[in-house]
Amino acid sequence: MCSFVPLHLLQALSESPSIPLVDRHGAQNTLSHDVRLANSIQSQPTANVLTGAPLTQQELKTEFVTSLNVNEQADFKVVNGDASHPMLALSALTVNDVSESKLGHLWREIYDANHVDSPDLLPGILLRAEGEPSSAQPKSAVLNAAYDNFEKTFTFFHKVFGRNSLNDRGMPLVANIHYSTNYANAFWLPSQRQMIFGDGGAILTNLTSLDVIAHELVHGLTQFTACLEYQGQSGALNEHISDAFASMVKQWDRGQQSADADWMIGDSCLCPGVEGLALRSLKFPGTAYDKLAVSRDPQPGSMAAYVDTSSDFGGVHINSGVPNRAFYLVCLRLGGCSWERAGRIWYDTLLSPDIKPNCTFIQFADLTCQSAGKLFGPEVQGIVKGAWMEVGVYPTLAFASHFDGIVASLGYGAESTSAQVFAFDGTSSGRLDHVMILHSGQAFAVATARLASDSLSAVSAQLLLGAEDMSSNAAWRGFAFDYKQNKTCDHIFLFAPGLGMVCILAPEAPGAGDGSGWRAVYSSKKGIGEHDFFSTEDRVLAFDLQHTGRLDHLVVYRPGSGLLSVLRNDNGVFASVFRTRTGLPGFDLSSVSDRLVAFDYEHIGRVDHILAYRPGSGLVTIFQNQDGVWKPVFRSIQLGTPGPAGDGIGGYPLSQRGDRILAFDLKGNGRKEYLAVYRPGAGIFWVIEGKGGRFTKVFGEGNPGQGKGAGVGGFDLSQMTDWMVAYNHPQRGLPDSLVCYRPADGRFVAVKPTWKVM
């Protein structure tokens, strides 16, 4: 059962000495009944509800015949062979009649439960069926309110969403009023697909008001769509969806816009004299009845106050405050009427085939963001995501340093503007869990280090001579490479652009790259493969060409010339498997500013896509390679502008030539699926997330179009030569650190992402 009045409030009312004895007994009776009934009901609806498949005309007719049989077997029989009874009349319809009958229109039935205390005895005595006049009998206000509010709710869903009743197939709306004695609740009974209303008492009353009716009917809608389990977060979402749509129905009936509504649920259910505004507030969860003497509203407005409890089916009526607040924020920021955009997003989410019965808050948030982007574009999607972030379902991302020092202390010598830092697999474990500091110039040295939680420990420092002319005055560059094709980037690829020199270093022993020294397994003064490395613009990166999870191919390119080669390693012999002098399709590599980054575009743990970007122009193109063919899967291009130009990515314009992009693992799942975009010299740093070809900012320090930022994690990024690389934490399951390095003074800062719940 899905009840309206929360169990914790009934518990408080039943125990309060300030409440009249008769009302305490009523609250206790209601509480005992609801707990007993809930425990007896199976958690899952019937199979045909779970499938969600459209029913045939014959199945529609069978549903009504089944309902008729329940009527005839009930203790309070009203049919008795009377052909005028609507259920009996429906049972006589032919299959063709069913599709054109009342099934396609509103059909209401209000029954008198006559104070029976068990749903097994329902429905009771039929008081009013569709089309019958309102009753003028004494105490008929509840009857007429239920009848009228059924119509308002039905009409809202029909006009706004085109829905034909709860199951979208014309299902009758059935209510039983005057249930039990002194019963202060209303509930939707999934097994019988009908609503049940008590009469309330001196504390709670008016249980057939519009928002109560709409709230409970939407439980039926959820049963026929998302079928959310009534437990824990999925149960809280079940309650939230009913609150959200009930608010929309009430606002639609009143002609209110989001900014003008009170966002209260059950505001007419508290009797005069009771200190409280309503049973729930979507605008400010936790304030609806916080002045009530017997209890305080326990609803949280953010995940920071989430209530972990076993009562109330895991706090379904309590923790619904979190998504309630998020929905309110979305409606307020979108403006206008709540049902126009926010309502359509939530309704589309309910219909999503991806929503699961045990859906969590964050899964539901993801689906609403997807629906928002699909229906209204990235701006609205950003508003929806921002609301979920504000309530802590998407924790707020921050960065904090866990090491800040000078790398000269590692013992390899003085600082140098040509020094470079990169990560490598120092233990042959499959993780880039060590850093290498590359010092070139009059002497060439490498220092390796391992980051602990708050310290940087040196594990080796080695002067390299002999493999090549490593002591020449050259600006060497390097990166980690899977030379042995075993998913371990424990070899170092070194190259001196402009001089043709290439060297590949291996650890003296497997897994010993953290201290036992290095040896050359490949060296050349004429480049590698068919690429000569005689241009100072030459660049290289490791790439997973064959989608195996191995960074065992080399992408060698020369910005400004269009030259690009992909090299395969065959036992130390490198040969081109792809070569072009015109760049990639739609990205010609004609600018010396062009850069390539390998990253995990599909979020599957394979760095098998290339992001090509041109800082200063905003051009971005993402490529996948299938069977040797490069295909763009994302483009950011401005049409109608002089010369090639783009919009950047995720809102970051890439409008300065100094802008840089790197891919990293933000969540500790082993996938380099997030992009860090930064501007050395200006202190600007953003993190961008991609989903389904759409990119959005999830963290931003500084506005790339206006002035400067403060950097990241205490590293101000104020120098043009500042550099940043991703580093795997030695412990699996933890996100990458970002290593920030300043060659001019040897400053080395490691920052890690942290998540703050609002």
Tens digits of residue pLDDT in 18-60 = 677 777 777 777 777 777 776 665 443 433 333 333 344 344 3
Superfamily of domain 254-394: Neutral Protease Domain 2 (1.10.390.10)
Give percent above pLDDT 70 in the chain: 80
Q: What residues have CB less than 8 Å from 437, skipping those under 6 apart?
A: 407, 410, 412, 419, 420, 421, 446, 447, 448, 449, 741, 748
DSSP of 131-154, one letter per residue? TPPPP-STT-HHHHHHHHHHHHHH
Cα 44 to Cα 51, 224, 229, 357, 452, distances in angstroms: 12, 12, 7, 9, 49
Active-site residue, 317 included: yes
590 with 581: CB under 8 angstroms? no
Give percent above pLDDT 90 in the chain: 52
pLDDT band per the 50, 70, 90 thresholds, residue 241: very high
User: Taking the CA of residue 168 as centre, how many other CA atoms within 13 Å lie in the half-sphere pointing to its CB?
Assistant: 16
pLDDT for 40 equals 66
Coil, strand or helix: which one is 14?
Answer: helix
pLDDT for 71 equals 35
Q: What is the CATH T-level fold of the domain 397-756, as seen in this structure?
A: Neuraminidase (2.120.10)
Active-site residue (options: 219, 317, 434, 531) = 317
Question: Which residues are registered as beta bridge partners of 725?
Answer: 739
pLDDT for 272 equals 64
Closest CA to 214 of 260, 160, 257, 258: 160
Decide if pLDDT at 674 tops 60: yes
- How far is residue 612's CA from residue 635's CA, in Å, rounded to a whole number? 10
pTM for this one?
0.64
User: Position 649: which residue type?
Assistant: I
Coil, strand or helix: which one is 422?
Answer: strand
Residue that is written with structure tokens 């125990």 in the block:
15
Q: Which CATH number fits domain 1-56+102-224: 3.30.420.10, 3.30.1330.60, 3.10.170.10, 3.30.420.140?
A: 3.10.170.10
Take residue 172 and report the two structure tokens written for it: 């009758």
| Average pLDDT value for the chain | 82
Active-site residue (options: 85, 178, 215, 216) = 216
Closest CA to 389 of 370, 408, 366, 409: 366
- How far is residue 213's CA from residue 196's CA, in Å, rounded to a whole number? 10
Take residue 125 and report the two structure tokens written for it: 């005595």
Decide if pLDDT at 160 tops 70: yes
- How far is residue 348's CA from residue 384's CA, in Å, rounded to a whole number? 14
The segment(s) of the chain belonging to CATH 2.120.10.30 are 397-756
The segment(s) of the chain belonging to CATH 1.10.390.10 are 254-394
What is the distance in angstroms between the CA of the first residue and the CA of the last residue of the chain?
32
Active-site residue, 216 included: yes
Take residue 558 and report the two structure tokens written for it: 């020369």
Of residues 661 and 753, more confidence is placed in 661
The torsion angles phi and psi of 580, rounded to 5 degrees, stand at -150, 155
Residue 736: DSSP 8-state = P
Of residues 122 and 638, more confidence is placed in 122
Of residues 66 and 301, more confidence is placed in 301
Tens digits of residue pLDDT in 390-425: 999 988 888 988 888 776 544 444 455 567 888 888
- How far is residue 398's CA from residue 5's CA, in Å, rounded to a whole number? 39
